[in-house]
Structure 1
Amino acid sequence: MGARVRETCDVVIIGGGVIGCAIAHRLAARGTSVVLVDAGQRLGLGASDGAMGGILTQTEPSCLGPLSSVIKSSRDIYPDWLEEIRDASGVEVPVLDGGDIQVALDEAEMERLESKVLPQWKNSPFAVERLTAADARSLEPLLSERVVGGFLLPEELALDPRVLMAALSGAVLSGRTPIRVLNAVRATDLRTGPGGVEVDLHDGRRVSAEQAVVAAGHLSGVFLPRHRAHLFPIKGVAFDVRPPGAVTYPLRHHIFAEIRQDGREYYPYLVPRHDGRVAVGVTYEENVGDVTVTAAAVEEIRRGVAALMPRAATWPIGRRWAGLRPGSADHMPILGHVDDHGRVVAATGHSGLGVTLAPVTAELVAALVCGTAGPREKELLAVCRPDRPFPPAPLPPTPPVSPPPTVR
């Protein structure tokens, strides 16, 4: 076999989803030359394409602990970041800024929210407003009559991740930045040494760089052997519905509930889109790596939605999809150098908060790579440091065992 064709750059990034593209864009703005390697036919076809689009401050439990300071930083810079991407790409990303309504459908759930969740919300750096049942239905009249109350999380935002990726892709591919994108190319090996890194590609090419950033979603463990045991996929199924005649946001908020009925738990989540659709989800299957959309998952979501907003359960279903969130064992990102030579930076494990944390992840990784991290960046990076202790990752679910055949 002949010598490999060699690409050279300052930084090679493995993974072209929202995290990888955000980092590439930020590094390029600093004059850093980047080669972005992505296995998809176009950028953002992995977890980013399957995201719901909530820019979350409090809805996810992982938002409420040590990660809250990182989320606050990302939320603060989000509007300016979107403007910057729009200016670079020409693509406007519509944002719904009404916040998230989390409702209770019975008194037991309202008690849980008030006694267990509200204290954590109050300890976060974000606002929270208590809602009566009448308050909730005045904000969203289509909510079920079963709603007994809830809370408004007014600083949460929502957007369409596909539009966000179109804007990010346009910025990365504009030709006005020192970024070279290699689509439909798989990285097969990453080696690091005192002088730099080398990434082998499946087509025989090799990328040589000063540093590498691994932002390959749930597959990042392939290139991060020390963290392979802490990373795993989290499957989520969702689908779009469209209210008849809707051409703009059909709801003014995104809406979430935890529902326990018929001996089962449901977690319906509705995220309105600017073109009249509503993204509806979502299932949560840890350490499941297939992207099959099953009828059972769709029915599980539909049942939850029927309890939360009955009319929405009758709206026609459009696109159905499954995505694989890049999970980490403690549900927080892994950001930082992970090799002995200080050449490889992990930027993965966002566990469903990739869209939420993309702006701050780009800022922090760029500061690491360029050696410009100040006290504030170091404080935020310490929350997500790769050498923190991790709990055991969840095991894959045990497949059901068929009963033995009956002997007649």
Structure 2
Amino acid sequence: MPDTCDVAIIGGGVVGCAVAHRLAADGRSVVLVEGGPRLGLGASDAAMGGITPQSEPSCLGPLGAVAGRSRELYPAWLDELAAASGVVVPLLDGGDIQVALDEAEMERLETEVLPVWMNSPFAVERLTAADARGLEPLLSESVAGGFLLPDELALDPRDLLAALAATLEANPAVRVLTGVRATAVTSGPRGARAYLDSGDRVSAGFVVVAAGLLSRELLPGLRDHLLPIKGMAYDARVPEARSYPLRHHVYAEFSEDGVEHSPYLVPRHDGRVAIGVTYEIGADDLTVTGAGLAEIRRGLEALMPAAVSWPVERRWAGLRPATTDRIPIIGPVDANGYVLAATGHGGLGITLAPVTADLVAALVRGGVDAGARELLRICRPDRPLAPWGPEGGPVDGERSAAS
């Protein structure tokens, strides 16, 4: 027998769950389809958890307006989830420190990056080497200076997914189907359908495809414009730490012997630190390799040498579902306007989840105001997108291990 609902959502990561919550809060009946055994086991589970609308390079262009709106939404959104689910998501609000490990990198930040940061709506504070080590005493003596971005946030993605899952479970308007995979999506003049590998189908007013890289199978028109970018990271336990062992998330970039390093540390509220991260354009496996871990370790040695000795707890790899222009695809992708894409968030799934949910809800309501219209224009599915080839395009600075 077919399921019938107002909106069917394909994909149970942070974006799909955020969309489901927002639509249900609007009074829509929702069926959420997730191929894994539980919600949030894909790219979202591999994310580092930085909320980086200012420092992420892909946000330095048009996407910055979208990411900035999402940052504005975040505190109230987490309060809303806590009220609905009883799950509080701790939020690190000390900001992001981007450091330079030599004078040449400091000059690059000052001449190329700082002018763009200054044009954003967020604060930026220049740090001397002493300032940076005053904020985070474990930073390397090699630090030449840096910048504090006090408005950037961080959280543990597993906490966020737990709050979203509990919120959806508590809402009688939401039905979650796990262990079931969508095989096709169609639309007609009165709505859309999702066909499942169980042989069942879901009939809905709208179908939202928020399936990350799997969106390529359901939306053939996007197949050439979505690519995987593999990333590796690990969790380390800081001895005797019972709360945040650092007050900021910390990032640097440097090149050594032709290898680009992007060390990134995101502290957790329980005494761990997530440490990454690597970039392999086009790689689509989830193998944690010795070479990748060695790359992370070398970056860590340069940025925060004391952290090299912290015991490692969990190692992982994830696949960022990126578009070729590093801007997500949000909007209708069928002739009838009933199949909506919400995919291709790359390394910004956590950052962009609240605003994506709001934009999809506006499309379903049919009441898109001027502000939402401009954000949807930036992410529109029909914009020119180049196909990706073996080189895949630039990915400098995409910090999450997956999303």
TM-score, normalised with respect to structure 2: 0.96
1:152 aligns with 2:154: no
Pair 1:96 & 2:63 matched: no
Contact 2:54–2:68 (8 Å) recurs in 1: no
Offset at residue 177 of structure 1 (A)? 3.5
Q: Is the 8 A contact 1:97 1:157 kept in 2?
A: yes
1:65 aligns with 2:68: no
Match of 2:336 among 338, 341, 364: 341
Residues 340-392 of structure 1: CA deviation (Å, up to 9, x unaligned)? 01110000011110100100100000000111111111111111111111133
Deviations 1:223-263 (A, max 9, x none): 11111111111111000011111111000000000012233
Amino acid in the other structure paired with 2:26: R
- Shift in Å at residue 393 of structure 1? 2.0
Alignment match, 1:373 = 368
1:228 corresponds to which of 223, 229, 240:
223
- State the SS of the aligned residue for 1:352: helix
Report the 3-state secondary structure (helix = DSSP H, G, I; strand = E; otherwise coil) of the residue aligned with 1:330.
coil
- Tell me the equivalent position of 2:76: 80
Matched residues, number = 392
5+ residue gaps, structure 1, are 398-408
Q: Deviating runs (4+, > 3 A) in structure 1?
A: none
- Over the aligned positions, Cα root-mean-square deviation in angstroms equals 1.0
Instruction: Quote the offset at 1:191 in angstroms.
Output: 1.2
Q: Which residue of 2 aligns with 1:403?
A: none
- AA at the equivalent of 1:337: P
**SS in structure 2 at match of 1:177:** coil
Specify which of 287, 301, 306 is matched with residue 301 of structure 2: 306
Q: Name the aligned partner's letter for residue 226 of structure 2.
A: L
Secondary structure of 1:353's match? Answer: helix
Taking only the aligned residue pairs, the percentage that are identical comes to 65
Q: Which residue of 1 aligns with 2:396?
A: none
- Structure 1 window deviating more from structure 2 (197-206 vs 133-142): it is 197-206
Distance in 1, Cα, partners of 2:148 & 2:389? 32
**Stretch moving more, 218-227 or 180-189:** 218-227
SS of 1:241's equivalent in the other structure is: strand
- What residue identity is the alignment partner of 1:305? L
Partner of 2:400: none
Question: What SS is found at the alignment partner of 1:98?
Answer: coil
1:284 is aligned, of 264, 276, 279, to 279
Task: Return the offset for 1:396.
Answer: 6.6
Q: Which residue does 1:328 correspond to in 2?
A: 323
Structure label with greater radius of gyration:
1
Are 1:110 and 2:102 counterparts? no
Tell me the equivalent position of 1:244. 239
Q: Distance in 1 between matches of 2:301 and 2:102?
A: 15
Q: In the aligned structure 2, how far is the partner of 1:89 from the partner of 1:395? A: 44
Q: What is the rounded CA distance, in whole Å, between the counterparts of 2:92 and 2:27 in structure 1?
A: 33
Q: Tell whether the 8 Å contact from 1:16 to 1:43 is kept in structure 2 after alignment.
A: yes
Q: TM-score if structure 1 supplies the norm length?
A: 0.94
| 3-state SS of paired residue (1:27) | helix
**Other structure's SS at 2:265 match:** strand
Q: Report the residue type matching 1:331 in the other structure.
A: R
Q: Which amino acid aligns with 1:136?
A: A
Q: Unpaired runs of 5+ in structure 2?
A: 393-403
Cα pair 1:199 1:206 within 8 Å, conserved: yes
Contact in 1 for aligned 2:45/2:158 (Cα 8 Å)? yes
Equivalent residue of 2:318, what SS? Answer: strand
Match of 2:354 among 340, 352, 359: 359
Q: Which region of structure 1 is more displaced relative to structure 2, 22-31 or 254-263?
A: 254-263
Pairing 1:42–2:42 present = no
Q: CA deviation at 1:19?
A: 0.3
C-alpha distance in 2 between matches for 1:110 and 1:394: 33
Q: What does residue 395 of structure 1 align with?
A: 390
Q: CA–CA distance in 2 between the matches of 1:221 and 1:392?
A: 13
AA at the equivalent of 2:64: S
